A and B are shown apart, each in its own frame.
Chain A
Amino acid sequence: MSTIALHDEHNHDHADHGHHKETLISKYIFSMDHKMIAKQFLITGIIMAVIAMGLSILFRIQLAWPDKSFPFLETFLGKWAEGGRIKSDFYLALVTIHGTIMVFFVLTAGLSGTFSNLLIPLQIGARDMASPFLNMLSYWFFFMACVIMMSSFFIQTGPASGGWTVYPPLSVVAKAMPGSGLGMTLWLISMVLFVASSLMGGINYVSTILNMRTKGMDLWKMPLPIWAFFLTAILGILSFPVLVAGVVLMIFDRSFGTSFYLSDIVMGTDILPNEGGSPILWQHLFWFLGHPEVYIVIMPALGISSEVISVNSRKPIFGYHAMVYSLIGITVLSFIVWGHHMFVTGMNPLLGGVFMITTLIIAVPSAVKTFNYLATLWRGNIRFTPAMLFAIGLVSFFISGGLTGIFLGNASLDINLHDTYFVVAHFHLVMGSAAIFGMLAGVYHWFPKMFGKMMNAKLGYLHFWLTFIAAYLVFFPLHFLGLDGVPRRYYAFTEFEFMKKWLTVNVFVTWAAIMAALAQVAFLFNFFYSIFKGKVSPQNPWEANTLEWTAPVEHLHGNWPGEIPTVYRWPYDYSKPGHDADFIPQTVPFSQTMSSNLPHDFEGNAEAEKIQQEWELANPVAENKG
């Protein structure tokens, strides 16, 4: 339990009953070990993902069969589905909570929280996070946020239902909709806790990466996931506080009668006293976080897939530096593009033009990343592990969803596409599906590291193909609804003549969504079954180079028995010509791989180059290898 013990390297033994006196509570609940916290984040994230997916199936049922009654809905939802039909207010609550959970709890905390916690210490060679206590708090704040968010389903007026962006005045004026009552208050409290959690996590990730890298691990030797987590954490630290500021102002508006976001409002004939505020202010504050947020979601997924693709192509990631610079580019640019969510919100059109330029610039680093993935696959020797399948799926989604971003980023095209199903299709592919696939790739890839067991590969294959196909079947047709001018967040398409032709598409999409949801059973079964009954994993199951695979399979507080390994090379020496194996771990010094060293490896170290030249003269055969 004591973190001081971490410095006492030699006292670590494999059993739990050492001098630590670990109890059930300190090991599994209030754990300060980054690996356990990662597992807590992951399992909470998975539970929240299942809930959010269930919510999506509920509203998909409503969209597909708007005039049919489903008695089981009344059984589960009671007064929100009287007569077996979901009510309009509750439909909006479903959409809102689905979005909130997916974006914040699954793809931010579930993804960053899990893999930053697991991989940062293990891949940079640290015994734990810079502040294990803060790390523990980070998880428990997240957990409380989840509980409070879910509790809003059990109150009279129901959960927040103004959309996950909770635009005022809809979300502020309690009379505007039932969800803007207590449900919205709970949403705001939950969000404050969540942001606190992210900040504690983020500060921890940044300080760990900057200060606790092992000997030899300079920044340019860090694996790409670490770069991604590092930049994601910076992004979070700089943008989440803005959301808190916005949320606090909203709490004031809701509970203490201020008018930050309200002015000139009449509900029916009831004139509200608020004057002088602007609803647009909230949109600026929200999207100042909200846009970086989508990169907070996608960047860790991109980092994970970079690693997975490189390992399983048995090839170095193409353009490592370009990959890092494009991540940095995305990080910087993501702060100045938020206005593209507001082209038609009444913001000054002059700003619209400016934000369009910055938005389309951000497509350049994204394009570079895509091409680099493709170049990594080129002439690789691809092993289709489940993780690799999901990583390839991510690249496909990233392309498909990214390209539609070029339409939406263009202010003039956005006029007709804003708030239609085109937007829904776009972000579900590029940040929904792609980020989820990145997360699943990470789970399949690092499950052996987390639990010391292997997952069943065949169930993984089944899971991938069903999910991959179903996701495209769900989201591809939705683009066309948007192009026909069907707005999002519509409870039913029955009131408009021109929307009726899309009803069959809606039925199809719902069945595809149900198929995608059922496919996740293959994953859930595989995940929980393998924790207990999976095959015991070898130490380096994927033959990867990074440091985490040099740590023993059995978890121990402090990660490595004895000294932390020293790093000598970059993490992507796969299939290096002249070396007998097709991978060289980062811990192997160049002196042991004389036959495969390249002049570039020595980074201008004249002495090393001289030694290498001498060796090559002495062993001329080596030149002909590879």
Chain B
Amino acid sequence: MSLRKFITNKTTAALAVLLTVFANTSVFAQDAAAGAAAAPKVDMGEVYKSVIFYILIFLAVCLFIAIIGKSIRVYELSREAQGKPVGINWNRVHASLFALFLVLGLYGVYWEYTVHGAMLLPDAASEHGKKIDEMFNLTLIITTIVFVVTHILLFGFSYIYKYSAKRKAYYYPHNNTIEKIWTIVPALVLTVLVLMGFLTWRSIFFKVEDPNNKPLQIEVTSEQFKWSIRYPGADGVVGTKNYKLTTAANPLGIDFKDLNSRDDEMADEMVIPVGKPVKLILTSKDVIHSFYMPHFRVQLNTVPGMRTYFEFTPTKTTAEMQQETNDPNFKYLFFCAKICGSGHYNMQKVVRVVSEADYKAWIAEQKTYLNDDLRKQFNLPVAPAPVKAEADSAATDSAAVKTNQMALNK
């Protein structure tokens, strides 16, 4: 009986310790609150910035955990002294925690899918992007089912089959039939996914060019940490470049001996007509960058010394997307997705998808890369350029382009 008393005392003592800790913290908190109220001029900002403050908090937490640990130990020893077999059945604790984790985890996943899932990119704004989205949704459904089922099994089994001294595990070393089933079923599911993925991939990268609907060529050149866009001009062909020709005046190293280069135009933003195929020609001056345009499901690295191509067809104008997303400030962007140096995090350009008419109006106003300085450099006649009649001023220059453009379109 006395032993019993002693034990109850110990337990109460442990509880008392815990209580004191709680009480003290809340008292301190109250003190602090009272202090703050009494002397509102005390600036806690500096305190929150000091490392010592956080170290002290951490040490307090450690102390708290140590006290809990000790009280558990006291409780267990007391149970032992009492002659009762176990203090805390940790197997049951963990089994229950796994069950709890399963429930909370599944809720968390649901929450993530609905809350964060609603913050994602809008539906694809390109033709091939729709196929990618379909593929994604199918994969998401399959993987979510597998994810939920396997986790229910994993944590469910952990809960149900927790240790019991009365039970013996079931000796079940193998079952070839079951193993065959769960080899073949994933293989079949994956075969479906592979086939669909393969066909989608082919449809994106192996396009047959339609002679009546030739894609608009746009060259994008990356360098640390900006993009340069080159439109093909009236002839519809982006001219050649040679990196050895790079100078301050000709930063892209465009070779103006190539006739196709002479009418190439520069642009501050990428403007593309809706519904018309666009063929991106991607190059890089210095290191590898990645041309990433997520709304259109377009990404391809830009590699120095090599041209890469990506063809896509935008299906929604910027204005339509602004309506769809309910965001009047919505802009399509492309930016860099491959680590390229200190400015990697800010290397973007705006993309505007507009109607065919707006596009024509806009392209007419763009300047050519070729200017008088470069003409001299390439020993080209300054006044009568082969494409443009007069080039006295930029205004007439672009007007000339406009007429040319019109002519070509007829």
Binding site for B on A (CB under 8 A): 70-72, 87-89, 92, 162-163, 167-170, 173, 176-177, 262-269, 271, 277-280, 313-322, 344-346, 349, 352-353, 356-357, 360-361, 363-364, 367-368, 370-375, 377-384, 389, 392, 395-396, 399-400, 403-404, 406-407, 410-413, 415-416, 418-420, 457-459, 461-462, 465, 468-469, 472, 476-477, 480, 483-485, 487-493, 495-498, 501-502, 505, 518, 521-522, 572, 574-577, 582, 626
Contacts and interface: CB of A to CB of B under 8 A. Distances in A.
Nearest to B97: A465
B202 interface: yes
Given A278-B305, A279-B304, A279-B305, A380 B161 contact: yes
Interface residues of B, number: 116
Contacts of B150: 370, 374, 399
B409 to A, nearest CB: 32
A619 B206 CA distance: 74
Interface stretch (B19-27, B292-300, B364-372, B398-406): B292-300
B205 interface: yes
Nearest to B202: A353
Contacts of B282: 346
Contacts of B51: 72
16 contacts: A92-B339, A167-B288, A170-B340, A266-B286, A271-B243, A278-B303, A278-B306, A314-B168, A316-B172, A357-B194, A360-B190, A360-B193, A382-B162, A392-B98, A416-B294, A485-B294
Contacts of B62: 521
A319 B305 contact: no
Interface string B97-132: 110010001001100100011011100000000011
Interface string B199-232: 0111011100000000000000001100000000
Given A177-B342, A384-B95, A483 B154 contact: no
The listed residue with most A CB atoms (<10 A of its CB), out of B62, B112, B301, is B301
B49 interface: yes
Contacts of B182: 367-368, 371
Contacts of B338: 167, 419
Interface of B: 49-51, 58, 62, 65, 69, 72, 90-91, 94-95, 97-98, 101, 105, 108-109, 112, 116-117, 119-121, 131-132, 135-136, 139-140, 142-143, 146-147, 150-151, 153-155, 157-158, 161-164, 167-175, 178-179, 182-183, 186-187, 190, 193-194, 197-198, 200-202, 204-206, 223-224, 243-244, 246-248, 251, 253, 282, 285-288, 290, 292, 294-295, 297-306, 308, 329, 331, 333, 335-346, 348
A352 B161 contact: no
B197 A412 contact: yes
A384 B342 contact: no
Contact of A320 (B136, B173, B178): B173
Nearest to A66: B345
B371 to A, nearest CB: 17
Nearest to A487: B337
Given A410-B197, A495-B348, A496-B348, A345 B340 contact: no
The listed residue with most B CB atoms (<10 A of its CB), out of A177, A360, A403, A487, is A487
Given A313-B161, A360-B194, 13 more contacts: A72-B50, A315-B169, A346-B306, A363-B190, A368-B186, A375-B172, A379-B169, A384-B94, A412-B132, A413-B132, A416-B294, A480-B119, A491-B342
A9 B156 CA distance: 49
B339 A163 contact: yes
A415 B204 contact: yes
B339 A170 contact: yes
A411 B197 contact: yes
B154 A377 contact: yes
B325 to A, nearest CB: 10
Contacts of A378: 153, 157, 161, 170, 172
B287 A170 contact: yes
The listed residue with most A CB atoms (<10 A of its CB), out of B147, B286, B292, B302, is B286
Contact of B157 (A377, A400, A576): A377
A492 B346 CA distance: 9
Contacts of B305: 262-265, 277-279
The listed residue with most A CB atoms (<10 A of its CB), out of B105, B164, B287, B299, is B287
Contacts of B132: 412-413, 415-416
A416 B136 CA distance: 10
B169 A380 contact: yes
Contact of A361 (B155, B190, B244, B298): B190
Given A415-B298, A484-B120, A406 B343 contact: no
The listed residue with most B CB atoms (<10 A of its CB), out of A318, A396, A472, A489, is A396
A571 B294 CA distance: 52
A322 B179 contact: yes
Contact of A353 (B95, B117, B167, B201): B201
Given A170-B339, A381-B164, A349 B151 contact: no
Contact of A265 (B147, B200, B243): B243
Contacts of A92: 339, 341-342, 344
Nearest to A282: B288
